[in-house]
Amino acid sequence: MARQGFLNGKLYTYTAEEEAAQDAEESKTLAEDAAIKYVNERQVGTATTVGYGTVEEQLDKLYRDINAGKFGADAKTGEWFVGITSVKTAFPKP
């Protein structure tokens, strides 16, 4: 059944072109909403998953990793890398 809406208080049936345009607009809006949700969840987390820590916390972790000599392949075992990786795994890019 064709999509319908009201125009000037009267029921109006969309043309095929108008319906296609409306579908495209809705798809675009859903994609934008998904991108915003992904960004917001990475920043603050969800009810069960922690997001990124503050910049100050992240810099402190980097300092401790550098101070412990975590460079090259060993850097992937440092607390900063492990913390960031857990957020990126929990909230992959859409």
Q: Per residue in 57-93, pLDDT tens?
A: 889 999 999 999 998 999 999 999 999 898 888 888 7
* Band of residue 41 on the pLDDT scale cut at 50, 70, 90: confident
Q: Which of 89, 91, 67 is nearest to 79 (CA)?
A: 67
pLDDT band at 48 (very low <50, low <70, confident <90, very high): low
Q: What is the CA radius of gyration of the chain?
A: 23
- Three-state SS across the chain? CCCEEEECCEEEECCHHHHHHHHHHHHHHHHHHHHHHHHHHHHHCCCCCCCCCCHHHHHHHHHHHHHCCCCHHHHHHCHHHHHHHHHHHHCCCC
Q: What sign does the CA torsion over 20, 26, 30, 35 have? A: positive
Instruction: Please tell me the distance from the alpha carbon of residue 61 to that of residue 2, in angstroms, as a whole number.
Output: 57
What percentage of the chain has pLDDT greater than the value 90? 39
